[in-house]
Amino acid sequence: MPLPEDHLEYPRRRHGMDHDLYPWSDLFDRPKVAWPNGARVALWVAPLLQWFPIDSAGKPFRAPGALTMPYPDYRHYTNRDYGNRVGIFRILDVLSELGIRGSVATNAAVAERYPGLVKEVVGRGHEILAHGLDMDHLHYGGMPEDEEAELVRGSLATLRDASGQAVKGWLSPGRSQSHATLGLLAEHGVAYCCDWANDDMPFRMTTPKGGIWAMPFAQETDDRTVMLDFKHTEDSWLQQVKDRFDTLYREAATHGGRIVSVPLHAWVAGVPYRIGAVREALSYMMGQEGVWAATGAEILQAFEASETGHG
């Protein structure tokens, strides 16, 4: 039996994208971006604080890093929780040492369970970036919208309350969304979202409930992806992160300011034998001329200022 005829129908075969979330544009044809003080690269370091519940359901799929063993999966639960107890402090110390402020993607459950940790992060001048409720509460196509609305509202309320910050950025657990996610985020005062992996610079997205920025968040040089999914060593991760920086830094000379984002899962990058590679990567970047380390919100603000003619 042949395929149903709709397989040979292409209702969205047209100029631009096959959805209405953003227009297509080529990074290399856009106006040059000017960062404060003529910086070439905005360095955006983003540690992640994640909590994987022991009774995780893994529905409708397991988030990267999720528990995999029969209940009670102590080994993965505790290995991930290590990041919140120990790993994050190694990372925070490296950042303090190098004078870097960044954005810490935080599950609301972490803020609820470990309010002191959020205070420590905030006290060091970092931005809190909302990272959903926890790593077992995914946003996904087909979920009831009222359920998702409550997840978004509740997570933001918890994180705003715990941090005293406006909390304008969002990273979904597993970078997973439903059709409604972006609209819900816009509705709840989120200015930028880090889930989409299609650009090296910010771009505007449109939702029925208002606009939202997509912020570039490294996917394939992410510490967990490189070292746990690809199974590369920390030395190789270090090389890749430096190579990534070098390309973007070189491009900035001719194409305008670039962003280098460095996601660091506290339970991956904060492990003793890996923290040296983290320090070396960030020292290398901070050692170049014209590198501006900032939070996501600051980088976005500078980007918007540059777009409207200040740059």
Partner 1 sequence: MSGDPGLYDYLPYKGRPKITWPNGAQIAVWIAPNIEFYEYEPPKNPLRTPWGRPIPDVLAYSHRDYGNRVGFRRMLDAMDEAGFRGSVSLNVAMCDHHPEIIKLCADRGWEFFSHGVYNTRYAYGMSPEQERSIIRDSADTIRKWTGQKLDGWLAPALSNNAWTMDLLAEEGLLYTCDLFHDDQPTPIRVKSGHRFVSVPYSLEMNDTIVYNTNSYDPRHYGTIIRRQFDQLYREGATSGTVMCIPLHPYLVGQPHRIEPFAEAIRYIAGHDRVWKATGREIAQHFLANHYDDFAAGAAQAR
Residue 46 or 92 having the CB closest to partner 1: 46
The alpha-carbon radius of gyration of the chain (Å, integer) is 20
Residue 1 or 123 having the CB closest to partner 1: 1
Residue 10 or 273 having the CB closest to partner 1: 10
Closest CB 52 distance from partner 1, rounded Å: 18
CA 232/CA 230 separation, integer angstroms: 6
Residue 60 or 72 having the CB closest to partner 1: 60
Which residues are at the interface with partner 1 (CB under 8 A)? 1-4, 6-8, 10, 12-19, 24-28, 60-61, 140-142, 174-179, 195-200, 219-221, 229-232, 236, 239-241, 243-248, 251
Token output for 288:
């170049």
Amino acid, single-letter form, for residue 249: Y
Residue 6 or 309 having the CB closest to partner 1: 6
Name 137's Cβ contacts closer than 8 Å, sequence gap at least 6.
151, 173
Q: At what angle do helices 272-286 and 234-255 cross, to 10 degrees?
A: 20
Write the burial class of residue 8 (CB in 10 Å: 0-12 exposed, 13-18 middle, 19+ buried).
exposed
Instruction: Write down the H helix ranges in 16-144.
Output: 74-82, 88-98, 108-113, 115-123
Closest CB 19 distance from partner 1, rounded Å: 5
Token output for 22:
């953003």
Closest CB 44 distance from partner 1, rounded Å: 14
Closest CB 32 distance from partner 1, rounded Å: 15
Closest CB 67 distance from partner 1, rounded Å: 18
Amino acid, single-letter form, for residue 19: H
